[in-house]
Amino acid sequence: MVQINFALREVNCKIVYYGPGRSGKTTNLEIVHAKAPKDSRGEMVSIATETDRTLFFDFLPLNLGTVAGMKTKFQLYTVPGQVYYDATRKLVLQGADGVIFVADSQKSMREENIESLDNLAKNLAENGINISEIPLILQWNKRDLEDVDTPEYLNEYLNRYNSPSFEAVAVKGDGVFPTLKSLASLVIKQINNAQNLESTDVQPKLQKKEVLPSPEKVDGEKNIAKTETSTSMPPISSINKSKVEEKSNAEKLASEKPPIEKVEAGKTKNENTEVSSVTKIENPREPQPNIPVVEKDGQPKSKKIKSEETTIKTKSVSPKKALNPIAAELEKKKAEREEQEKQRTERIKKNARRPAGTTDWKKIIILAGLFVVILAAILAAIYFTKN
């Protein structure tokens, strides 16, 4: 489901790479990560097994740039391919806006390809998506191998919905971008179509949860009733009632609790200026063509609330303006928090584990060095005892 956020001025789309195990989905993402301009992509996150097989998903955020005043972002996911992980695959597919099906072109993989495509249709349906309606691109990967089917034959046996298809050698990077490019345009077109539909149609409900028709269709009306209740939340109010007492106690506790203040000396203005400069980069004052409001100093008037960084920054620059008690509170704790942020950054660095499957050369060199020294010592000892 596309998220259009007029406050962050962002359009977010979810793209999923699907296909049988080892067809090259993770490789596709790695290539996109390597080829995309650095400032437009985030870290690639892989939830993989020890042996580098995808366990849950790979994730790569891509920032296409600002389009008509909206930052347009694609979030790329891959699914684990093995049959065993079907439940996981279905989860990753939730809310997908487009799918790239990566097929292994080898003749020996025909069955796996078909099985995976059937599985895609099934899992989309279970997520309330019709495979013939979602933007779908097919990729014939591993064209470099010997015993592969022709693209014509692959189209014949796998292209059921008349989707665009691309040949690829993902390991070499061939065909990876054209595939994604084609899907990206399909997804964008879909957004625009939905938009045009909307202007004539009644506004669609926000994320109405799709519920599959229940198997017993005896009583139609009952079914509808059931569906409706199952979409709504469990009654929170009833849960809360039982907790009222506990709550009021806790509230007392909260008001009695003295504010914890760890004094962190040495936080100077320098840091504030540093933060503001970072903030500037993070909040470029882009023109906001969609807001019909006069802009002053390039700052749209109607954007009272930008991201909170901006708010805090402004307040730290002119503390007299911080009349709001909440803002004052925040202000007071800022230095302290910054110190903690620093510590956190250090922890993140320290904990940053090397990606699975890569070699820890530092360790190896140190061990090898140690080994050589010990060997030399032993040889020397033998030499001296013999003489």
Partner 1 sequence: MKDNRLVFYEDDIQEIDKVLEKFIAASQASCVLLVDLEGHLVTKKGFTDKLDTTSISALIAGSFASTRAVAQKLGEAEFSVLFHQGVNENIHISLVADRALIVIIFDDRTTIGMVRMYAEQVSEGLKSILESISERKNEGRETLSSDYANEAESQIDNFFEEG
Q: Kindly state the smallest distance separating residue 78's Cβ from Mg ion, in Å.
A: 5
Query: Would you tell me how many other CB atoms lie within 10 Å of the CB of residue 263?
Result: 7
Token pair of 146 as six digits: 């010997």
Does residue 141 bind Mg ion (CB under 5 A)? no
Sites for Mg ion among residues 41-80 (CB under 5 A): 54
CB 183 within 8 A of CB 142: no
150 binds, among partner 1, Mg ion, ligand GDP, none (CB under 5 to 8 A by kind): none
Sites for partner 1 among residues 65-124 (CB under 8 A): 65, 67-70, 72, 75, 87-88, 91-92, 94-95, 97
Residue 147 or residue 246: which is nearer to partner 1 going by CB?
246
22 binds, among Mg ion, ligand GDP, partner 1, none (CB under 5 to 8 A by kind): ligand GDP
Among 161, 344, 374, 378, binds partner 1 (CB under 8 A): 344
Among 233, 263, 265, 281, binds partner 1 (CB under 8 A): 233
Q: Kindly state the smallest distance separating residue 113's Cβ from partner 1, in Å.
A: 25
Q: Per CB under 8 A, which region of 40-48, 114-122, 142-150, 212-220 contacts partner 1?
A: 40-48
Buried b / exposed e along 223-256 (16+ C-beta atoms within 10 A) = eeeeeeeeeeeeeeeeeeeeeeeeeeeeeeeeee
* Short-list 329, 187, 338, 203, CA closest to 264: 338
Q: How far apart are CA 385 and CA 377, in angstroms?
A: 12
Sites for ligand GDP among residues 70-129 (CB under 6 A): 78, 81
Helix residue ranges per DSSP H, 242-360: 244-256, 269-282, 308-317, 325-351
Q: Kindly state the smallest distance separating residue 309's Cβ from partner 1, in Å.
A: 6
Q: Kindly state the smallest distance separating residue 54's Cβ from Mg ion, in Å.
A: 3
Assign 3-class secondary structure to 317-331. HCHHHCCCHHHHHHH
* Short-list 145, 176, 158, 153, CA closest to 17: 176
Q: Kindly state the smallest distance separating residue 307's Cβ from partner 1, in Å.
A: 7
Helix 110-126 vs helix 86-93: angle between axes, to the nearest 10 degrees? Answer: 50
* Short-list 326, 348, 327, 339, CA closest to 271: 339
With tokens 């509808």, the residue in question is: 224
Residue 12 or residue 165: which is nearer to partner 1 going by CB?
12
Give the x-and-dash track for 137-156 against ligand GDP (CB under 6 A).
----xx-xx-----------
CB 12 within 8 A of CB 3: yes
Does residue 105 bind Mg ion (CB under 5 A)? no
Q: How far apart are CA 285 and CA 240, in angstroms?
A: 43
Among 114, 143, 191, 331, binds partner 1 (CB under 8 A): 191
Q: How far apart are CA 178 and CA 134, in angstroms?
A: 19
Residue 31 or residue 148: which is nearer to partner 1 going by CB?
31
Sites for partner 1 among residues 246-265 (CB under 8 A): 247, 250-251, 253-254, 257, 260, 262
Give the x-and-dash track for 4-33 against partner 1 (CB under 8 A).
xxxxx--xx-x-------------------
* Short-list 118, 139, 152, 148, CA closest to 182: 139
Query: Contacts with ligand GDP: how many residues (CB under 6 A)?
Result: 18
Does residue 44 bind ligand GDP (CB under 6 A)? no
Residues that bind ligand GDP (CB under 6 A): 19, 21-27, 54, 78, 81, 141-142, 144-145, 169-171
